[in-house]
Structure 1
């Protein structure tokens, strides 16, 4: 099954399968998605079963856009919690063309990822820092 966006870019079925491994199977800690080389579909670039948050953010390119999902763990007064966080990563140094394609294709992927609790728009690493995401989760 492939879903298409308003930009005509399809979501590869592997994107959904890997997301289910994160959401239900808890076999994946984070997923980074990118546009395929031919710019016709969204594909899985990387998945990690045990990556830390620092490892995750270091896997985001400083000069190109990506989408990502992270199974975010945090502490509250009565214990530990998890929320699935979706990231639309669009750094300032990415090309305008890349930003436009990623922006117009985001909803196609986002609609297929049922169970995401929080969405983060990041243009620099401060906006996707653990503290910034924790603060947004606390407001949800």
Structure 2
């Protein structure tokens, strides 16, 4: 349970394990349920296009997301894959929503074992492909 009292729904963990172990999803979008008591799965997708993933981030609403980020290593070393955790909290989202998401993030983040990198986004420039690529490359 988080500081905000929000818990992680079992379906949220199952979807993550399906992505991590079963490669059934390319990304997962998480949101808070209507009562703001549980972090639940809003959407899963097999769509590999990064721009399609970014289209799931609304301009005025907070979300969490997991993305199986594939990239090429320089020097012909082949492809790598890292699981990236996104906290999307746009500047235009309501302050109360941003506070609940910020205080609930740790509950979800701790429950998801195997995440390589965390990305905090308040606008689209902070979640751009090149920014994420740079961050995952630094951890190699």
Q: Same fold (TM over 0.5)?
A: yes
RMSD value, Cα? 0.7
Q: TM-score, normalised by structure 2?
A: 0.96
Tell me the residue number matched to 1:100: 99
Tell me the residue number matched to 2:6: 9
**Secondary structure of residue in 2 paired with 1:94:** coil
Unmatched runs of 5 consecutive residues or more in structure 2: none
Q: TM-score, normalised by structure 1?
A: 0.96
Q: Identify the match of residue 42 of structure 1 among 39, 46, 63.
A: 39
Aligned-partner Cα distance in 2 for 1:48–1:135: 24
Query: Can you list the C-alpha shifts for 1:21-68, whole angstroms capped at 9, x where unaligned?
Result: 100000100000000011111000010023411110001111011000
More divergent stretch after superposition (61-70 vs 44-53): 44-53
Number of residues paired by the alignment?
137
Tell me the residue number matched to 1:27: 24
**Contact 2:84 2:117 (8 Å CA) reproduced:** yes
Q: Say whether residues 1:130 and 2:129 are aligned partners.
A: yes
